[in-house]
Each structure stands twice: as C-alpha cells, then as structure tokens.
Structure 1
Amino acid sequence: MAEINTLAAFNAFSAGALWLLGSLIFIGFDKVNIQANRWLGAFYGILACNFTQLFLEEFRIGGSLLIHLMELPRWAMLPCLYMAVHHYVSPSLNKKEWFLHFVPFLLFLLFSFVYLMPQLFNQQYDLPILPPWIGFIIRYFFFVQMIYYWIACFSLLRRHQRNLKMLASFTDNIDLKWLSYLLLSVLFMILIRIVSMSNVNVTYYSPILYFLGIIILAYATLTQKSIYALETYQPAEKEEMIPKKISNERLTTEQVEELQSVLTRKTVGEKLYLDPSLTLSVLSGKIGISTHELSYILNNGLGKNFYQFINELRTEEAKSLLLSEDTKHLDMFGVAIRAGFNSKTTFYTTFKKATGLTPKEYIKANSDASR
C-alpha cells in the first residue's frame, strides 16, 4: 500500500507543476500570444484540478464536496485547449463562436447543481428520474470529448501549416514545433487515460507517466514562439495601381489572364521575388490588387500557391547565379541570399524539389555538359 501511495504522490507533483505553469502563462509571461496563453492557462488550471482530485481521492484527504468541486470544470478543459490552439493559429477568431464549445460544460454544471450537489449536503428533493442514457453520457462523454477536441486541434495545426504557404514565401522563422510537441504530449496523456481503463499495469504506473507528459507540456509551452506570419501591408504607388476596380467575388477568365500578365510582368520584370521578406499582402500592394484577388490568380490562373510561385522564381535566379562567373566567389548561402532566399534550408529544399539536384550537383552536371 505504501508503494502505491508513493506513486500516487506524483499526482501531487503534476498538480503543483500545472498550477504553476497555468499561472505563469495566464498572467502573461509571453507578450506574443497573450489571448491564446490565457486559454492555455485555463486548460492547465482545469487539468491541475483533475490531478488534485486524483491525489485527494488516493490519500482520502478532504470531503466529497471538495473532490466534486475539483471535478466540476472537467468538461471545459478540452474546449479551452481548442480555443488556445485556435487563437495561436488564427488570432482573429470570432468571439461569438467560442460559446458553443462550452454548452456541454454549462449543462453538466446545471445538472450538478440540481442533482449532485444537494446529495453532498444530504438534501433530498422530489426530482424527476432521469433516463439511463443520460447517466451513460455523463460517464463517457469526457472520453469522447478528449478524442474529438484533440483531432480538432491537430486539424487546426495542419490547416495552418498549409495556409502559411498561401501567405508567405518563407516559413523558417515561423515555429510550429513547440505546438506540435504540446499536442503530442496531450495525446500521450489521453492514451494513458484510455489504456489505463483496461490495463492494471498502466493504471499502476500512470502517475509517473502523466508527470513525464506534463514535463514535455511545460517545455513546449515555455519555449513557445509566434507561429503565424506577421505581415506588413505596403500599399502600391498611385501610378502603379490598376485603374479599374475588379470585384473579388468572381473574376472572369479575361480578368484572370489580365491580372496574371500584370503579376508576372511586375514580379519578374522588377525582380520583386528577390526581397526575402516578400509576403502575399506586400506583393498584392505592389501590384495594386487585394490579397484575395492575388490568391485567386495564383491558385486558378497559375495553379500554384504563393510559396511555390515565389520560390520557383528564386530557384531560376539561383540557377543563373550558380553558373555565373560573377558569383563564383560566393558560397551557397551567399547565392541563396542573392536569389531572394532568407535561409539555406529553404534554398536547398526548394532547389532540390525543382531540379532533382542539389546546388552542387547542378553545378557539376552543367560543368560536365559544357565540356
């Protein structure tokens, strides 16, 4: 029994770590993702309540009321995580949407105050008998909710990864790893919870496993960075503006072809792609159209996203530079910078994908061909 209590003590360590972590990020230790951190802090606070409840139950500390109070916010835990991830990847979230995610929690709160709390105070009322399926939902809803919201959070992250290439021509400085680690550690704890329901050995060691998962959570949270592209919109000069306003509701084939010609002429002719910080909004401002119109032209006119369009032009520039006598003195990073890339990694990855060769292999292949 003493050994079980020793392992169960890790629930107290987990609760303490989560209370501290939740407080740190909720009060705003990071000034980049303030709103998202508040939701994440709420998630950690509710998770801390769960581990506090486990500790109190194991060591028989406190009464039934205290344990029940620790359990009350459980149905709000995963919606808080979802709201945090949504704010990280999409800071402009509509505030009216969040309420729907907390309706089950509010219903459980109402059920608790009407049916459960009176029993804890030894008060009896003539309440209607609930059908058995409501008890089944209350017992197992939380497990379904955990799986659903984790998938929803993962989908948000994947969609954000795809959308980044619609907006930016560089993604190296946009850190998605820490949020991936956070979701993986949450998944790790969800799996422990599910498996421990049927496996005694996992149940026995679960306090330690949970604590390991929380360490990863803490590391991911405290090393977070901005994960969305911060763009600066630069309006075009008046003489560069296209005189006729084009509706972005629906572009005709002729309008797409006209704007596609303007896009290619200005981007290639003025070598706008050589700007390492070029983004969708910056390019749209230089051309004189909206970002929606530019995205439509790229996707439907050229069949590419912004990332592909710009970096393919940079690759063509790099191919010329690699074979030019004027740039023989440059190393590969120097060539990458001259071609518009802001990182060696993006340069190598894009170049290899476009040509099937590394830059050095490309130089060698063309040197052999010219002999």
Structure 2
Amino acid sequence: MVINSIAEGLNILTAFLSLFFAFYLLSLKSKNRISNVLISLFLIIRAIDAGTVLSNQFIILYHPGFGLLLNTLLFLSPPILYFYIRSVTQADFKLKWKHLWHTLPFVIAILVLIPRFYLADYDKKIEILTASDGLILEFKLVYLLLHVQITVYIIACYIVILRSKKLLLENYSNGNVNYYNWLFTFITLVALETVVSTFKNFFLINGLEAQYYWATTITGLSAFLFISWLVIKALKSPGLYGRVDSKQPLVNQIITAHPRKERGERENKENDEAILRIKNYMEREEPYLEPSLSIYDLSQQLSLPLKELSVLINHNLNQHFFDFVNEYRIKKAMEILADPSKSDLTILEILYEVGFNSKSSFNTAFKKYTALTPTQYRKQYST
C-alpha cells in the first residue's frame, strides 16, 4: 500500500534523525550535561517508537515480548521530557532517587500485560499482535493510560515553563526570555503531535484500517517535521539561558502569604520614599552595568529585605525586575549611541558595556523602548 510505504519511509527518516541528534548531544561537552542526557534519552525513545515498523518486521517476529517491551518504553518519554524542561529552567534541579516513582505508569503497563501476553507462549503472542478482530482489552487500557499520562506531563511542563519565566522576570536581569518562548513552542508541538497520535490509536483500537494508515502517515510526517525543526533550532541556539532558582517565591505568593491591611498615608509615603531611594541608587551607582545583577544582589546593596524589594519593584511599580533593570541599560545605551565621540564603539561593544550579555536580548529590549533598532537610533545622531 502506497500510504503505508510513505509512513514507513517517514518513520525511518525520523528514527535516523532522532538517533543522530541524540548521539550528537551526548558527545557534546556542556556545563548542563544532565539536560543533554535527558533530551537524548527522549529522542532515543522517540526513535524506537518511530522505528516500530522495523521492529514489527524483525524483533517482534522473532521476539514478540521484547519487541512490545521496546514499544512500552514510550511510557518513559513524558517524565523524561518533564525532567528535561525542569533541568533547563531550574538552576537547582537535580535528579533524585525519589523521581523513580515517575516510572510507575511504565511498570503498571507491563504488569497489566503480564498475564495474557508476556506469560503466553510464542504462538499466542503472535496471535494477539496480529488479531484481525481488534486489540485485547489490556492493550486498550495501556493506550488509554499512555494518553492520560502524556496529557498530565504536558500540562506539568507548561506550568514549569510559565512559572520559571515569571521567576526570571521578577528576580533576574540577565537571561533570554525568548528561550522560554522556544520551550513553550517545543511543548506545544509535542502536544499537537500527541493529538494526532491519539486519533491514530483510536482508529487502531476500533479496527478502522484505512483511517489508521492515513493517520500513521500524518503522524510520521509531523514527527519528521518536528525532529527536523528541533535539530535546526538547537544547532542555531545551542546555549541555555535563563535558569532560575525554583525555590524562590513569586511576588503574588509573597503578597498572599503576608496580606496587608488597607495602607495608611504613612505606609504609602514610606513605600514612595523607598522606591525613590531605589531609583536614585540605580542612577547614581549604576549597578545595572553588572550583567548578572539579580534582585538578591540589589537587596544586599540597598540593605533592603529581599521580599520587600521584590514587592516594591514587581508589584508597586507594576514592572518586572527584568524590565526595570533593562530600562536603565537601554537609557545608558541611548546616551552612548547619541554621543558622537563614541561613534567608534560597535553595537556589540555597547551592549556588553551597559550590562547585556546577548545581542538578541539587547535588540529586542532596545526596540521595545525606542521602536528603533540600535543602528537606526544611532543614525539619527550621525553627521
């Protein structure tokens, strides 16, 4: 069947690309080695899943139990993806023995299949796998468990990404916010691919052969495009930016934990004075020139409690710490760009001088505040 041949070809290409990229990542020397290992394991499992057609022809034919066990490894993919997201967003993340409970769905899937499949003889296993009257109940339950598990972990990944991004904005002045947008897109693509795969399995369970082959082709194409996008994107942006301390509370958590009664005139005046002191310090001492400046560093310099400073900037000023600091950096960059005596400085030299550590972050922030690129802004003052 032509459709089946197309699906097989796409699966083989996807498996090859996944394995190639996985082993490439494993060969890299990186400060965040655990992240490379996790995403490599994720890709290897996807390669095994994409190569199901090959395992059906060779492994399952001679060792059906082992072949099905390989396919069951797909249950390990969602928790590995979840831990990968945590490892690239949380600076304090470490794998621990207690994380092994995340393998529970994998264990349950095996236990469910033991009585009627794994303990059966070879002929019975082949009969179950090639039955024309549909899947046995245990297989249907395993498919259902898999899709529930994937849904739960995708939601968990979204929560980690959004919370970490907010922590970055509230507590750090460096890091690449666009990296979180990339992670969000990454998980969204995984979610969309899961939806397509759900339809494929629905057709399989209900014995809709024609629809199943079409869905298999679409799944194969989406998987191939996904892994191709992932490889290209990762090779263009190999660095990890914006990892945060996950134990830090968000500002709304601080406010909820310490609710304030209606402020009096005196308290409002004290807050205004504290904010004025912060702004004066920023202009006078220019701490924002330090690329790694965090809200903790600034609280130490100002001798202000960390939580109080966080609420003053992120809540009272209605501005994230990230934007608060970058605003001063942009103003400093504007001064330099408008100064004819500093026209010999390149844009790259200027962005490093004012505290940025990424050209893309600098350009994004500069355009946000001025609606112009740094080069366009400088041309306004060139003679």
Q: What TM-score do the two structures reach when normalised by structure 1? A: 0.70
CA contact (8 A) 2:3 2:213 kept: no
Residue matched to 2:312: 297
Question: How far 1:8 sits from its partner (Å)?
Answer: 1.7
RMSD: 4.4
Question: How far 1:331 sits from its partner (Å)?
Answer: 7.7
Cα separation, partners in 2 of 1:280 and 1:48, compared to 1, 3 Å: same
Task: Map 1:254-333; keep pairs closer than 5 Å.
Answer: 259-289=274-304, 291-317=306-332
Cα separation, partners in 2 of 1:341 and 1:209, compared to 1, 3 Å: closer
Residues of 1 paired with 2:69 and 2:353: CA distance?
62
Q: 1:159 aligns with which of 160, 163, 185?
A: 163
CA contact (8 A) 2:175 2:241 kept: no
Residue matched to 1:142: 146
Residues of 1 paired with 2:22 and 2:370: CA distance?
48
SS for the counterpart of 2:31 is: coil
Cα separation, partners in 2 of 1:72 and 1:260, compared to 1, 3 Å: same
Deviations 1:324-371 (A, max 9, x none): 7766887877776665555666556545544667789989999xxxxx
CA contact (8 A) 1:10 1:211 kept: yes
Cα separation, partners in 2 of 1:328 and 1:111, compared to 1, 3 Å: closer
Deviations 1:247-275 (A, max 9, x none): xx859858866754543332222222344
Question: How far 1:320 sits from its partner (Å)?
Answer: 5.7
Percent identity, please.
22
Question: How far 1:89 sits from its partner (Å)?
Answer: 0.8
Relative to its length, the structure with more helix (as a share) is 2
Cα separation, partners in 2 of 1:174 and 1:225, compared to 1, 3 Å: farther
Task: Map 1:32-47; keep pairs closer than 5 Å.
Answer: 32-47=31-46
CA contact (8 A) 1:150 1:183 kept: yes
Q: Which amino acid aligns with 2:73?
A: P
CA contact (8 A) 1:28 1:37 kept: no
Residue matched to 2:190: 186
Aligned length: 341
Q: Structure 1: any 5+ residue segments left out of the alignment?
A: 124-131, 232-248, 367-371
SS for the counterpart of 2:242 is: coil
Residue matched to 1:228: 242
Is 1:66 aligned to 2:43, yes or no? no
Question: How far 1:118 sits from its partner (Å)?
Answer: 1.0
Is 1:110 aligned to 2:111, yes or no? yes
Residues of 2 paired with 1:216 and 1:134: CA distance?
35
Cα separation, partners in 2 of 1:352 and 1:32, compared to 1, 3 Å: same
Residues of 1 paired with 2:220 and 2:376: CA distance?
53
Q: Structure 2: any 5+ residue segments left out of the alignment?
A: 125-135, 204-210, 246-256, 261-266
Deviations 1:268-292 (A, max 9, x none): 2222234444333432333345644
CA contact (8 A) 2:6 2:217 kept: no
Q: 2:173 aligns with which of 169, 175, 184?
A: 169
Cα separation, partners in 2 of 1:69 and 1:341, compared to 1, 3 Å: closer
Determine which structure has greater relative contact order: mean sequence separation of CA pairs < 8 Å that are 6+ residues apart, divided by chain length: 2
Q: Which amino acid aligns with 1:273?
A: Y
Question: How far 1:142 sits from its partner (Å)?
Answer: 1.8
Q: Which amino acid aligns with 2:103?
A: F
Cα separation, partners in 2 of 1:288 and 1:342, compared to 1, 3 Å: same
SS for the counterpart of 2:170 is: helix
Deviations 1:224-254 (A, max 9, x none): 32132589xxxxxxxxxxxxxxxxx859858
Residues of 2 paired with 1:69 and 1:360: CA distance?
58
CA contact (8 A) 1:57 1:67 kept: yes
Question: How far 1:81 sits from its partner (Å)?
Answer: 0.9
Question: How far 1:37 sits from its partner (Å)?
Answer: 2.3
CA contact (8 A) 2:164 2:244 kept: no
Residues of 1 paired with 2:21 and 2:358: CA distance?
34
CA contact (8 A) 2:4 2:217 kept: yes
Residues of 1 paired with 2:336 and 2:275: CA distance?
26
